Every structure is written in C-alpha cells, then in structure tokens.
Amino acid sequence: MAKNPAGFHEFCRKRLVALKRKPHTIPLAVLAIAFIYYSFNLTQISNTTALVNSQNMGLTAFVTMLLSVLSLVCFMNAFPHRKKVNVPMLVLMVIMVGILIYCDIYYRSCIFTAITREVNRINPTGKNIFVSNAQSMLGVHMIILIAGLTLTALLPVYTPLLKKLKTSINIESSGDIEAIDISQE
C-alpha cells in the first residue's frame, strides 16, 4: 500500500490550524507530559520513600500527585473556550506548579541527605538503584515543569507568531465563472 504524502500534509495543516485557534494547548501538553512522566515513575518514588523514610517524604509525593492533577484542571479552566483568560485560575495554576517544583526540590534534598549522611548511609547502587533513578527523575520533572511555566508565560509572545503562519489551501477553480451562462433558466 502506497503512503499518501498529501494526507500527511493535510493532517499537519489541520493540527497547525488547531494550534492557531488554541495556542494554550502547547503549555497544557507540556504540563500533561510532566504529570504522565511523574505518574509512570511513581514506583521509584514510593520505593525511595519506603527506604529513606525521611520526614514528610510521603506527604511530598502525595502533594505532587494531587497538585499535578489540580494544576491541569486549573489550566483548562484558565483558558475557557471563546472567552477571556480567567486570571485567578491562571494565578492558582502558577502557584500550584511553584509548589510542585518546591516539593521536587525538597524530595531531592531528602534523598541527598540520606545518601551523604555519616550514620546509616544509603548506597544508591545495586539493589537500591531506584534511589538514584528517583533523584534523576525528579530533576527531569522539575525541568519539564519549568518549561511548562515558561511556555505559559510566553503565550502572549508566540500566539501572534502562530497566527501569522499561512495555513490556507489553494482551491483549484473550475474555469472562468463569467463564461458560465445561466440565462437559460
């Protein structure tokens, strides 16, 4: 079966038109990727919490999952369809993402303290490799969250640039319209 390059071109054009209409989809997708990435690595986090057992580590993991979902809901409510931006929801979302970044920093510091302490030090290799994986995963999670906040803050900058992209298609004409005689009817 032959591939249809025109069909792929049309698919890309339709996605670009959708982005022109709703440019806030880009930061929403980045924040959703951060939530999915954290959710897929939740086993690493829970195993690390059970091993390190530092104060408030479990609470931090719970708050991260809860605020990840709530920040997505606030973001979707901040940009209602065909209405102005709901600024209080946008501010609430930014605060929640800030708390998420703080939770990641706190959790990483708990891991760092457990790895570097003098008494009963945890070795993050071998059977405890999940500790090292959780620490690096939290770093990537913070980077994705910061990218989502940056894209949200730059939304007024790249929205006009997206609107300037040409997405219209040329329709071939069926001949000279003036030459068509409809006086017989």
Q: Which residues contact 87 (CB under 8 A, 6 or more apart)?
A: 78
Residue 171 has pLDDT above 80, yes or no: no
**Residue boundaries of the structural domains of the chain:** 24-156
Q: Compute the mean pLDDT over every residue in the chain, rounded to the nearest whole number.
A: 88
pLDDT over 80 at 173, yes or no: no
Residue 92 reports pLDDT greater than 60: yes
Of the chain, the percentage scoring pLDDT greater than 90 comes to 63
Among the listed ranges 138-142, 145-149, 154-158, which one has the minimum average pLDDT value?
154-158
Which comes out higher in pLDDT, residue 108 or 5?
108
Q: Does 33 have pLDDT greater than 70? A: yes
Give 52-69 pLDDT, tens digit per residue.
988 999 999 999 999 999
90-94-96-102 Cα dihedral, nearest 10 degrees: 180
- b/e string for 85-121 if b means 16 or more Cβ within 10 A? eeeebbebbbebbeebbebbebbbebbeebbeeeeee
- Provide the pLDDT for residue 38: 97
The pTM of this model reads: 0.84
